[in-house]
Amino acid sequence: MAHRPRLVVCFVLGLLALAGMACNLSGGPEAPSTSAPAANAPTVDIRVPVNGMSFAEGTNVIIQTVATDSGNGVSRIDLQIDDTAYASNPAPNPAGQSAFMTNFEWQAQGQGLHSLTVTAYRQDGTASAPMSISVNVVAAPPTQPPTATPTSAEPTVAPAEQQAAPTVAPTEPPAPTADTRPRGTTTIGLNVRSGDSTFHPILGALPNGTEVELLARNASSTWYVVPFGLSQGWVSGLYLNITGDTSSLPVQTAPAAPPTALPTAIPATAVPATAVPSGPSVDFRSTVGDGQTYNAGTCFTFFWTTSGVSAVYFDGTGVNGQGQAERCPTASRSYTLHVVFTDGTSRDYSIPVGIK
């Protein structure tokens, strides 16, 4: 009987030891969990193409994305095609910037539906909610072979008629007519748009050196309609080497530009300040002559004045709201002023420079 308290104490200690072992077994490292994006994480959007758009297989598709961030800034945007990482574009400022727009290029391959997903990241790894759209890749239209001119069968002539008929020397068939339809060859990687201005959305792009048939023109013969995918699009004649007589092309009126689009080329003689509907003003101009081409290395000055905006970027670099910069391009290209407004929206103003 004297040993009973000791036995009770031992029993209680044993139970405590078992409880400690249970805690140790359940107290290991937890599996990592995926959390939702932070409330103040970056945001990202796909501007082009639109959800559900169809492309012929082999089409060079431009995927235009824009990301904004009120925190430390966007440092990169990643693109995923279906379930595979496709490309990652870093921002000009590796530490991050409040707005970043970039274009990805993807050659449409594999008939059927494909998902395009973009995600924006800060330098510390904070990610936006992914943005996804679907596009449909269809078979490219077959190339039509030249149609042979049918030859009519010779009439059957009765022997008597054959003797009475005069002898006629055989005539040579007419020589084939050379294809004189106007054509153009791109001098740069050229955007294909839904209308005859840079106001219109981009449908895709033609690689440098691509030859296309010119189907129609606008009234000023500065933009041309070309085949694109299963449909048609407009390209600027500034970046085409044209052969053939374009005056014979029909004049076609392009659809109106979307109401949210703003002029992207403001020549040096333009009236100052283009008003933005929300109240801020943006004036972007240069010494580049409208529609002219220049020798490689020619220098130009670009001027900008803005008010009521939150951020301004020229040629991918953050700048003050008012300033100027000189550029001496060696190849045709466009220079862009990217403006972020106080309501979080952003717009691009571009001035193309044509180099011979």
pLDDT at 290: 65
Alpha helices, H only, 86-215: 159-164
Q: In whole angstroms, give the CA distance from residue 14 to residue 311.
A: 68
Q: In whole angstroms, give the CA distance from residue 31 to residue 37.
A: 19
43-138 and 274-355 in the same fold:
yes
Q: List per-block mean pLDDT (blocks of 10 residues) for the chain, which spans 356 residues.
A: 54 54 42 54 85 81 86 92 93 87 86 94 93 87 56 49 57 63 88 85 81 93 87 90 92 78 40 46 82 80 86 88 86 89 86 86
Domain at 183-248, CATH class: mainly beta
Domain boundaries, given as residue ranges, for the chain: 43-138, 183-248, 274-355
Q: Phi and psi dihedrals of 156, rounded to 5?
A: -80, 125
CA angle 78, 108, 215 (to 5 degrees): 125
Predicted structure pTM score: 0.45
CATH of domain 274-355: 2.60.40
User: Could you tell me if 10 and 17 are in contact, meaning their C-beta atoms sit under 8 angstroms apart?
Assistant: no
What three-state secondary structure class fits 309? strand
pLDDT at 273: 40
pLDDT at 299: 82
C-alpha distance from residue 4 to each of 7, 16, 183, 185 (Å): 5, 19, 108, 103
CATH of domain 43-138: 2.60.40.10
Alpha helices, H only, the chain: 4-26, 159-164
* Alpha carbons within 13 A on the beta-carbon side of 251: 6
- pLDDT single digits (tens) 75-133: 999 999 998 999 999 998 888 888 888 888 888 889 999 999 999 999 999 999 999 99
